Chain A
Amino acid sequence: MIRFNNVHKWFKDLHVLNGIDLQVAQGEVVVVCGPSGSGKSTMIRTVNQLESINEGEIWVDGKNVADPKTDLNALRAEVGFVFQHFNLYPHLSVLDNITLSPIKVKGMDKAAADKQAVALLERVGLAHKKDAFPAQLSGGQQQRVAIARGLAMEPRVMLFDEPTSALDPEMIGEVLKVMKDLAESGMTMMVVTHEMGFAREVADRVVFIDHGKIVEQAPPEEFFKNPQHERAQQFLRQLLTPMS
């Protein structure tokens, strides 16, 4: 579904992505973790080309995203993206946030789009908020709407860039639950997160990245029980005893 072939990216002198090779199969849920500044957010943003790459190839659903001939807008329509800061459109109601792209990009008619949006809002438990505006919702609610917005394009892949790290602790659970349901429905997912509980419970594979390189990837049980790489060990120790 997604394939990275020796991907490199530089920000000026900084080598953010240093030869990434990775494959994500259809229906697979991959959690990407790593210390801050490791390049994990940059990596996930290259998949739909919110960040460009300097070298290598990224294939999504059989299309090379770095090829100038690829229709990026069409590709992005098939790849849902959920941001750390939700990025809902503040001037539109919850319903319009969800229906805007199906109507404008896919040409769906308004009634069908509304119906679909209400169904998605039910799925994330927010049907009663369809007429509210983003500023009237809590962070957790906004992120659930953002997930519904991503799903409205009926994507083949969903990407999550630290979806819970801007949330108050009591709201993290509701978002993770929605993500878990989504994973169970068979969606292909790539998730950048520090929520190791989610990784342990939901992920098929955990990818550990550091200094722009994948240093370890393993099924969650293996990764948490017996991390091979020294930096992965150190990372996990810090996560488990955050105050030290």
Chain B
Amino acid sequence: MNYNWDWNIFFKSTGIGSEIYLDWFVSGLGWTIAVALVAWIAALAIGSVLGVMRTLPGKVLPAIATAYVELFRNVPLLVQLFLWYFVVPDYLPEATQVWFKQDLNPATSAYISVVVCLALFTAARVCEQVRTGIQALPRGQSAAALAVGFSIGQTYRHVLLPQAFRIIIPPLTSEFLNIFKNSSVASLIGLMELLAQTKQTAEFSANIFEAFTLATVIYFVLNMSLMALMNLVEKKVRIPGMMGGAK
């Protein structure tokens, strides 16, 4: 194949101001991390609350959480993103609508939409992990906590959740990595994250393979670092005398 390889392309000018192509990748990576991290923190918080709700006694709260999970897990991510970006804003009050669509920097409004979208989507998946973690604990644990006078809240806070989270670190790690990969949907509403910058570089420079190779390497290194980080966390919270985690 007579492809014209040029690995120096990343250091060449993009023709816009004094930017080189590498700058685009750096800025893209910055957006990717900003989207994924913020969405992850929100997803973890919302998902944990929902996961706890699914294990509570009674009917109403578990039913609400179950409905949430079914809704957000079964609608494709892309459809959700378009709803959050194009449809939902149209139902805001007139003044907020104008502010969101026109006054706000377009990158900011796209950022808000994609963070909300990814957070709510991932929360449904975190919820299921948290629920599984809690249900995997022996029933005696909650009985023991209640027997010394803990409220339901204290029982979850001090006894059930610390154990459940230890059990689910591996599946949570994979959700954490997924949110980074899923953050690439942001490119579809014009947020210039890593994938968008890669495509743009490919289009502008016509050095398609170099651009996508660099993106692959960046995603790979990013995911490996996150995995190493989570392994570290898992080791740090491992319970002495037990293999792997709490059971």
Contact A135–B241 (Cβ < 8 Å): yes
The residue of chain B having its C-beta at the shortest distance from the C-beta of A76 within the complex is: B149
A81 near B: Cβ within 8 Å? yes
CB distance from B143 to the nearest CB of A (A): 6
Q: Does A23 contact B (CB under 8 A)?
A: no
Judge whether B242 and A90 touch: CB under 8 Å: yes
Is B71 close to A, CB under 8 A? no
- Flag B86-121 by CB within 8 Å of A: 1 or 0 each: 000000000000000000000000000000000000
Q: B-facing mask of A65-98, CB < 8 A → 1, else 0?
A: 0000000011111111101010111110000000
Distance in angstroms from A49 CB to nearest chain B CB is 9
Interface of B is mostly: helix
A83–B145 CA distance with the chains assembled, in angstroms: 11
Cβ of A101 and Cβ of B149 under 8 Å apart? yes
Cα separation A136 to B243 with both chains bound (whole Å): 11
Which one of B143, B149, B240, B242 lies within 8 Å of A87 (CB-CB)? B143
A147 at the interface (CB under 8 A from B): no
Contact-size category for B:
20 to 34
What residues of chain A lie closer than 8 Å to B240, measured between beta carbons? 132-133, 135-136
Option from A87, A132, A135 in Cβ contact (under 8 Å) with B144: A87
- Bits for A43-81, please: 1 = Cβ < 8 Å to B, else 0: 000001010000000000000000000000111111111
Binds A, one of B159-167, B178-186, B199-207, B222-230: B159-167
Interface residue? B221 (CB, 8 A): no
> A76, B144: Cβ atoms under 8 Å?
no
Judge if B17 is at the interface, Cβ distance under 8 Å.
no
Minimal Cβ-Cβ distance residue in B for A131: B240
> What 0/1 pattern do residues 210 to 247 of B give for CB contact below 8 A with A?
00000000000000000000000000000111100011
- Cβ of B16 < 8 Å from any Cβ of A? no
Q: Which residues of B contact A78 (CB under 8 A)?
A: 149
A71 CB to closest chain B CB, in angstroms?
A: 9
Q: Is A191 an interface residue (CB 8 A)?
A: no
Chain A residues with CB under 8 Å of B239's CB are: 90-91, 133, 135
A31 at the interface (CB under 8 A from B): no
CB of B141 closer than 8 Å to a CB of A = yes
Shortest distance from the beta carbon of B235 to any chain A beta carbon, whole Å: 15
B135 within 8 A of A: no
Contact string, B135-153, partner A, CB cutoff 8 A, digits 1/0?
A: 0001011011111111100
Contact B151 A73 (CB under 8 A): yes
The 8 closest A-B pairs by CB, nearest first: A77-B149, A135-B241, A87-B144, A136-B241, A87-B140, A101-B148, A81-B147, A76-B149
Given A48-B147, A76-B146, A80-B147: 15 more A-B contacts, CB < 8 Å: A73-B151, A75-B149, A77-B148, A77-B149, A80-B148, A81-B144, A81-B148, A91-B246, A101-B149, A101-B150, A133-B240, A135-B240, A135-B241, A136-B241, A153-B148
26 CB-based A-B contacts, threshold 8 Å? A50-B143, A50-B146, A76-B148, A77-B149, A79-B147, A80-B148, A83-B147, A85-B140, A89-B158, A89-B159, A89-B163, A90-B247, A91-B162, A91-B163, A91-B239, A100-B158, A101-B149, A105-B148, A133-B239, A133-B240, A133-B242, A135-B240, A135-B241, A135-B242, A136-B240, A149-B148
